[in-house]
Amino acid sequence: MNEVDRIGDDRRKETPVIGEAGSGCRCCCNKYNLHTTGFLSIFAEKISTFPPMKRLLPSAIVSIVALLTWGCGHNNEHEHHSEAEESEMHDGHEHEHEHEGEDAEEGDHDHDSDEIVLSPEDAERFGVGVEAAVVAPFNNVVRTGGDVTASASDVSMISAPTSGRLQLNAGISVGSKIAGGQTIGRISATGVSGGDVNAAAKATLDAAKRELDRVKPLLEDGLVTRKDYYEALSAYEAAKAAYSPAAASGIVKATKGGVINELAATDGQIVTQGETIAIVGGEGSLTLRALLPSSEASFLPQITNAVISLPDGSILDLADAGGKLMSKSAAGASATPGYVPVYFTFNNSGNMITPGNAVEVWLYGAADGSAISVPDEAVTEQMGQHFVYVKVDDHGYRKTPVTLGRGNGRRYEIVSGIAEGDSIVTRGTTFVRLAETKGAVPEGHHHH
């Protein structure tokens, strides 16, 4: 037995066996059942006593064992990392299962696939409002056309103050709003056949004034008779009456404020003194002429009110504007063949509409039974089919197809599709439709 084998044999009992308590890590030294660190220290101690040339082989052995020891430690460290990573993966897998459980539990509260989701906060922010569907009386209605004119008592005319050529001011046309006393144009006799009448009248007035001034002192001295004096005075008064400073200026002014309904003379036209230039309608009181088709003449006795469309697209109920029914006689049909004119007067407070405008009219008759109805703005149309949106819960809305009946300009009769008590979206319908189109889902809710 050489020295190396003897040393190993002597220390084998002192070295703990791998796998026992307090032993080192498992490595390539297992087959020798040696504790690597202890062996190296003893081996180095012994070879230090060898002669220099005899130390070479043992030193090489020490180096090889040291390298094996390092590799063992490195592999052991990697083994520990792998165990830690495996533990983390296992924990993560369990965590994913927990989330899946939560998602499954939350899925129990998902909305139906055809439900439109809009949070109460968004509904309030966008002005979405609802009203309960109720059965109520619904008026018979005939939809037709008409026009609005100024009331006769509120109409004035602008006449030419003198003869000559008319020149209208810029911006004066039918439909223009003017104020009382406003200048709308001028009349000039320059270049007009017959000369300037006002200039001739002024010359006559001046001559009559001079004659009167001459005769008056002569009468006091008894040099002329009283008859001569009165003749001179009469001539002066006639000349004075014939001449008007306002007419001489040629200024054309409005006597009352309102809207120009008609221009009887055009710019550049020759007019004579007293000739009508424009007709102005006041805006305080207006007249509606609704044209009821002759085929609906049996509806005349029922008519009690009218609703008209305004230029801005809104609706005006004449009953809310002090409207009164003036005439609805079939005798007026001769003036409008094929139609029976129905006249209303109403107050145009706030200048809601300009005289001369054509309007859409809904003539109201007596109530005919009861029905569920909704405001016009509650109804949407898609591909020729009509829908309303029904609120089903705090966050949910449902698009519901409906069949429309009569319309009265403000509401539609609903023949089928909804029931009494349903909460119908009547304001902000556009935003609910947008939520439907975009699939908008408020935070905290799932919409599958």
pLDDT in tens, 90-136: 444 444 444 444 444 444 445 566 788 988 999 999 999 999 999 98
Together in a domain, 242 and 290: no
Asked if residue 407 has pLDDT above 80, the reply is yes
Q: Do 182 and 198 form a contact (C-beta atoms < 8 A)?
A: no
Question: Looking at the domain assignment, is residue 447 inside a domain?
Answer: no
Question: Looking at the domain assignment, is residue 445 inside a domain?
Answer: no
- The pLDDT, as a whole number, for residue 198 is 66
The last residue of a domain, from among 226, 260, 281: 281
Together in a domain, 135 and 226: no
Together in a domain, 318 and 422: yes
Q: Which has the closest alpha carbon to 62: 37, 31, 26?
A: 37
Percent of the chain with pLDDT over 90: 23
Together in a domain, 84 and 197: no
Together in a domain, 160 and 140: no
pLDDT digits (tens, 9 = 90+) for 331-359: 666 677 889 999 999 988 776 787 778 99
Assign residue 227 the CATH number of its domain.
2.40.50.100
Assign residue 381 the CATH number of its domain.
2.40.420.20
Residue with token string 């010359």 = 203
Percent of the chain with pLDDT over 70: 67
Question: Looking at the domain assignment, is residue 115 inside a domain?
Answer: no
pLDDT digits (tens, 9 = 90+) for 20-71: 444 444 444 444 444 444 544 544 454 455 444 444 444 444 444 444 444 4
Together in a domain, 310 and 419: yes
Band the pLDDT of 440: cuts 50, 70, 90. very low
In sequence order, the 6+-apart residues with CB closer than 8 A to the CB of 254 are 156, 158, 178, 179, 180, 181, 182, 184, 278, 280
User: Distances from the Cα of 432 to the Cαs of 109, 111, 401, in angstroms?
Assistant: 21, 16, 15
Question: Looking at the domain assignment, is residue 225 inside a domain?
Answer: yes
Question: Looking at the domain assignment, is residue 429 inside a domain?
Answer: yes
Pairwise CA distance, residues 352 & 301, whole Å: 29
Asked if residue 3 has pLDDT above 50, the reply is no
Q: Which residue has the higher pLDDT, 25 or 284?
A: 284
Together in a domain, 141 and 70: no
Together in a domain, 346 and 206: no
Q: Which has the closest alpha carbon to 118: 434, 396, 400, 422?
A: 396
- The pLDDT, as a whole number, for residue 223 is 87
The last residue of a domain, from among 103, 133, 165: 103
The one-letter amino acid at 218: L
Together in a domain, 344 and 430: yes
- The pLDDT, as a whole number, for residue 99 is 43
Task: Determine the structural domain holding residue 48 and report its residue range.
Answer: 3-103
How is residue 381 written in tokens? 């149309």
Question: Looking at the domain assignment, is residue 325 inside a domain?
Answer: yes
Asked if residue 392 has pLDDT above 90, the reply is yes
Q: Do 239 and 143 form a contact (C-beta atoms < 8 A)?
A: no
Together in a domain, 331 and 257: no
Give the 3-state secondary structure of residue 225: coil
The last residue of a domain, from among 103, 132, 167: 103
How is residue 177 written in tokens? 């709003």
Q: Do 397 and 128 form a contact (C-beta atoms < 8 A)?
A: no
Burial of 281 (0-12, 13-18, 19+ CB in 10 A): buried
Question: Looking at the domain assignment, is residue 111 inside a domain?
Answer: no
Together in a domain, 324 and 303: yes
Question: Looking at the domain assignment, is residue 236 inside a domain?
Answer: yes
How many C-beta neighbours within 10 Å does residue 227 have? 8
Together in a domain, 138 and 8: no
Count of domains forming the chain: 3
Q: Which has the closest alpha carbon to 361: 148, 145, 149?
A: 145
